[in-house]
Structure 1
Amino acid sequence: MAKEEYAIGLDLGGTKILAGLVDRTGRLIARKQLPTYAEEGEKAVIERVLSATHDVLSASGIHSEEVRGVGIASAGVINSDSGEVIFASNLGWRNVPIGTLIEQRFGLPVRLFNDANAAAIAEWLWGAGAGTQNMIYVTVSTGVGAGVISDGRLISGRDGSAGEFGHISIDWNGPPCGCGNRGCLENYASGTAIENAARHKLATTNEPVTAKAISEAALAGDPFSKRLIKQAGFYLGVGAANLIYLFNPEVIVFGGGVMNASTILMPEIEKSMRERCIPGLAQEVRVILSQIGVEAGVMGAAGGVFALDQPGEKASNF
């Protein structure tokens, strides 16, 4: 393949760093995963990011001069123009120029994406939203986020941080959120929210409670766990109705770890969403599950790189 047919995607998370070499068709040629160990500090994490990038190139047999560029998917507040992570609580980072550091090491252009936006790109190019022009990807994990494709363009906002869906307030008298707002959606519908609700109800237990364990119990038929998951689905549907009013999508794709309980969540999301929407707007919207899965960040970050200097192509709209 020619140089522009390859890109590297990096998914920079609080627990793991995932790197992948991807071709223009969406084929993941090589991958490398390392633990983040954010507690070891910024320099140590950056070295692991650089190491993962080097290792994925070595494993693929592709030289850096054959690669179009590097895309990075990161949580937190970013500046996509400067390639800087302004603030990422999961990493303990403030004002880290990760894009510049990778560019200096490998001599490749770098693009930085909000992690939900990167996943949206992956689902739009190669996954559940392929063939649409108006798609929203919602990630439900530790927090809640969204990436919006409108008229074939990623809505990234002023500096690449658009899509903070989890911080839409659905109850102005609700509990305070870490962002400074009150009653944010992710206080009710995220993995963290599910865990907190369980701990509140099970205040007398000393056993650890995780969203994964609650989801597994719900799928096994535990009534208490099912109620918690259904409650999260209800609130996600409330939020999805707001997205429909704002963006008039063809499809809303749900992904993230909490969606492992999709057989319980999806019916609740659809029911709540359609109850709160004007029928003419909601009836044509398809609500479906992510197809890319855990590698959506890597795939989408790489997919966004193919936009560089390629006027007239689908990806150039990023």
Structure 2
Amino acid sequence: MNATEEFSIGLDIGGTKILSALVSKNGEVVSEIQCDTKGGEENFSHQIILAIESLLEKEDIEMNRIKGIGIATAGVIDSKKKEILYANNLNLENYPIGNVLEKKFGLPVQLYNDANAAAVGEWLWGSGKGKHNLIYITVSTGIGAGIISNDSLLTGSHDSAGEFGHISINLNGPLCACGNKGCLENYASGTAIAAIARERLATGEASHYFFAKMDGLTAVDICTAAKMGDSFSIGLLKEIGEYLGLGIINLIHLLNTEAVILGGGVMNESELILPSIRRTVQKHGIQSMVEKVKIEKSSLGSYACVVGATGLFFCKNDQLAALPH
């Protein structure tokens, strides 16, 4: 590394793991440390501090070369107060993560919703570079979206914009944990893929791959089986792509975006879903609005959140106003 180069630290905080990374001004992950997530305020505070300290010690970086700490996390947040208001999977409520880290390290801290962070990362350094309007969609345990519109990140009045997984695609569909019926998450998330597969196998649909694995079935299992030619899994993933495509049509019609970028664990595992999404969008969307929209996978992959979380510290002046402070 250049002896004078500046970096930022990014944290991607999930329910099962925390990824800490040293990120350059070009959006490159120079070094990383990953650890399992431990919930509860005391355990969590110790863990994130230790992760940052370990990263700095590993690379022997002086603090004056670190511009700040960017955090991407699931849950309900207040980016201005830099607080995690509620995160069930972290067992946290009203946790002042910004204050904790600013006091410990003397560095500025920025807090993002994970999908928003990924959208910023793709906009600055990834598949959305050079675009003025884009939507990043994460398809993982749940489904979320980050939206860049006319070079501004849309966060809504309470940092809750982009709950793409909770738009209803079937008013007579199953009840969602959010209280709505027929939410997209119930049809196309990683959790839904596994649940639908188990239900169909239990009612007699045939798969040569899963006859003995039904109880512990996961979305990754379905993706793996599809790669091996299992017709049951291939058909299910194409169907998942159709559901996502229907949801994406609504976003394109509403926001008139230039690009839709898809990431998250499910998209990283399956090559079958993207073509199904594209076919559905082209078949059912308003042609003048969908025909020029690029729909593609994230180029930053699993680094999208951790890289995007550092985006504010490396923005040009004309980009700075677009990001939350």
TM-score, normalised by the number of residues in structure 1: 0.93
Which residue matches 1:24? 25
Q: Distance in 2 between matches of 1:25 and 1:148?
A: 22
Q: Give SS of 1:317's match.
A: coil
Deviation string 1:36-90 (CA, Å, 9 cap, x unpaired) is 133xx33112211111111112222222232111110001111101111111122
Which residue matches 1:153? 152
Residue 170 of structure 1 and its aligned partner are, at CA, apart by 1.2
Q: Distance in 1 between matches of 2:265 and 2:183?
A: 19
CA contact (8 A) 1:21 1:28 kept: yes
Which residue matches 1:12? 13
Q: What percent of counterpart residues are identical?
A: 48
Single out whichever of 256-265 and 71-80 deviates more from structure 2: 256-265
Q: Give SS of 2:61's match.
A: coil
CA contact (8 A) 1:73 1:113 kept: yes
Call closer, same or farther: CA 1:63–1:158 in 2, change over 3 Å: farther
Which residue matches 1:215? 223
Which residue matches 2:173? 174
Residue 261 of structure 1 and its aligned partner are, at CA, apart by 4.4
Which residue matches 2:266? 258
Which residue matches 1:268? 276
Residue 174 of structure 1 and its aligned partner are, at CA, apart by 1.2
Q: Distance in 1 between matches of 2:100 and 2:260?
A: 35
Q: Distance in 1 between matches of 2:313 and 2:254?
A: 28
Q: 2:282 is aligned with what amino acid?
A: R
Residue 273 of structure 1 and its aligned partner are, at CA, apart by 1.4
CA contact (8 A) 1:83 1:99 kept: yes
Q: Give the counterpart of 1:314 among 301, 305, 319.
A: 319
Which residue matches 2:207? none
Residue 200 of structure 1 and its aligned partner are, at CA, apart by 0.8
Residue 315 of structure 1 and its aligned partner are, at CA, apart by 4.3
Q: 1:13 is aligned with what amino acid?
A: G
Residue 226 of structure 1 and its aligned partner are, at CA, apart by 1.1
Q: Distance in 2 between matches of 1:260 and 1:70?
A: 26
Residue 92 of structure 1 and its aligned partner are, at CA, apart by 2.1
Single out whichever of 168-177 and 9-18 deviates more from structure 2: 168-177
Deviation string 1:193-250 (CA, Å, 9 cap, x unpaired) is 0011011122386531010011110121101111211111011000110110111111
Residue 5 of structure 1 and its aligned partner are, at CA, apart by 3.7
Q: 1:296 is aligned with what amino acid?
A: A
Deviation string 1:135-172 (CA, Å, 9 cap, x unpaired) is 11111000111111111111122232321111111112
How many pairs were matched up? 313
CA RMSD across the alignment: 1.8
CA contact (8 A) 2:139 2:263 kept: yes
Residue 111 of structure 1 and its aligned partner are, at CA, apart by 0.8
Single out whichever of 270-279 and 293-302 deviates more from structure 2: 270-279
Residue 275 of structure 1 and its aligned partner are, at CA, apart by 2.1
Give the gaps of 5 or more residues in structure 2.
204-211
Q: 2:124 is aligned with what amino acid?
A: L
Deviation string 1:266-303 (CA, Å, 9 cap, x unpaired) is 11101111222110000010111111011111100011
Deviation string 1:80-133 (CA, Å, 9 cap, x unpaired) is 011111111221222111111111111111111000111111111111111111
Q: Distance in 1 between matches of 2:299 and 2:20?
A: 19
Q: Distance in 1 between matches of 2:161 and 2:64?
A: 32
Deviation string 1:1-48 (CA, Å, 9 cap, x unpaired) is 79994211100111111111112111222211111133xx33112211
Which residue matches 1:191? 190
Which residue matches 1:125? 124
